[in-house]
Amino acid sequence: MSRSTRTILVLLFSLVVASVASFVVYRQVQAIPVREVEVRSYPVAVAAKALPMGTLLSATDVKLVSWPQSSPVPGAFSTVESVVNRGLLAGVVENEPLTPTKVADAQAGAGLAPTIPPGMRAVSVKVDEVVGVAGFAVPGARVDLVVALTQQDQNVSRVVVTNVLVLTAGTKYDQDAARDGRPVPATVVTLVVTPEDAERISLAASVGRITLALRNPLDIEPTATRGMRLASLMGAADPPPPSTVPAPRRSIAPPPVKAPAPPAPPAIYSVETIRAAKRTSEVVK
């Protein structure tokens, strides 16, 4: 038997032994019984499907799942009845646990009203593609309100309300588009403001044109500006150049002419005559 033949036989024998050994090990592993480890859990109410904000929850919108007790959900509901007929304060996705921060009180009802925080008000502002920052004033965004108006025959613009939360933008269909980060071509934007800011916005909308200024949500500093007037926008006018025409000279009145003195009266002569002891005097002109 040649050397090459012996080498081939050794390789084939090794391959057969390895295959038989692998098959035996595989069968032994398959024969090992499956050991189940029990994990302590408790029921948690979760959303059965994706639901938008303001939805009135029904029994078909909620389901119970087993949640590990090692990672509990703070404030989670353990029964379906505890969340039925309550409105959603925020949109949820499928299998997301329902908590008191996302579900309104039982007496609050559904819709937009339960989503308004206590002490705040919801004000709607009419917008267009320009006023609404090209549709990027979506729910959850922060904006400033700038009003432009005419005051005392001068065009003026100024920030009247700052760092306002956008509650909704447009219709329910528009809200679904906003979740994907797409712009919302809405005609109405609803803002969450204080009662005093609600008065400012109402007055600004009645006397001028409102524009929304989108801001970074991490920028929480209030906007403090002095406003802008048309004269300041265009710059102050330059003073007129000095005139080359000489200024008119002041006229000097001539000195007053003295009237000629009246002629002197004719001289008066007195003639004195002495006659003996008698003395007389006569005036001669």
Q: What is the pLDDT of residues 201-230, one digit of tens each?
A: 899 888 888 888 888 888 888 888 877 777
Q: Is residue 211 part of a domain?
A: yes
Instruction: Check residue 263 and give its pLDDT.
Output: 64
- Of the ranges 35-44, 108-117, 130-139, which one carries the lowest mean pLDDT score? 130-139
Residues 81 and 140 in one domain: no
Q: Which residues contact 99 (CB under 8 A, 6 or more apart)?
A: 73, 74, 75, 76, 77
Residues 155 and 227 in one domain: yes
Give the pLDDT band of residue 44 (cuts 50, 70, 90). very high
Residues 73 and 171 in one domain: no
Q: Is residue 62 part of a domain?
A: yes
Burial of residue 212, with CB atoms counted within 10 A of its CB: 0-12 exposed, 13-18 middle, 19 or more buried: buried
Instruction: Check residue 276 and give its pLDDT.
Output: 63
Count the neighbouring beta carbons within 10 Å of the beta carbon of residue 190. Answer: 19
Residues 120 and 219 in one domain: yes
This prediction has a pTM of 0.51
The residue range of the domain holding 75 is: 37-113
Domain total in the chain: 2
pLDDT greater than 60 at residue 239? no
Domain boundary among 208, 234, 260: 234
Q: Is residue 159 part of a domain?
A: yes
- Of the ranges 66-80, 90-104, 115-129, 231-245, which one carries the lowest mean pLDDT score? 231-245
Residues 159 and 179 in one domain: yes
Domain boundary among 194, 216, 234: 234
Q: Is residue 85 part of a domain?
A: yes
Residues 48 and 92 in one domain: yes
Residues 91 and 131 in one domain: no
Q: Is residue 125 part of a domain?
A: yes
SS3 36: coil
What proportion of the chain, given as a percentage, has pLDDT over 70? 72
Instruction: Check residue 40 and give its pLDDT.
Output: 85
Looking at per-residue pLDDT, the higher value among 255 and 209 belongs to 209
Could you tell me where the beta strands, DSSP code E, fall in 154-249?
154-169, 188-193, 209-215, 228-229
Q: Is residue 264 part of a domain?
A: no
Looking at per-residue pLDDT, the higher value among 264 and 94 belongs to 94
Residues 96 and 122 in one domain: no
What's the mean pLDDT when you consider all of the chain? 77
Q: What is the mean pLDDT of residues 244-249?
A: 50
Query: 223 and 232 in contact (C-beta within 8 Å)?
Result: no
Q: Which residues contact 48 (CB under 8 A, 6 or more apart)?
A: 60, 61, 62, 63, 94
Residues 142 and 98 in one domain: no
Q: Tens of pLDDT along 131-189?
A: 566 667 778 888 999 888 887 778 888 888 899 888 877 655 455 555 555 555 667 88
Looking at per-residue pLDDT, the higher value among 97 and 7 belongs to 97
Q: What is the mean pLDDT of residues 108-126?
A: 80
Residues 121 and 94 in one domain: no
Q: Is residue 257 part of a domain?
A: no
Residues 87 and 153 in one domain: no
Instruction: Check residue 139 and give its pLDDT.
Output: 80
Give the pLDDT band of residue 242 (cuts 50, 70, 90). low
Instruction: Check residue 98 and give its pLDDT.
Output: 92
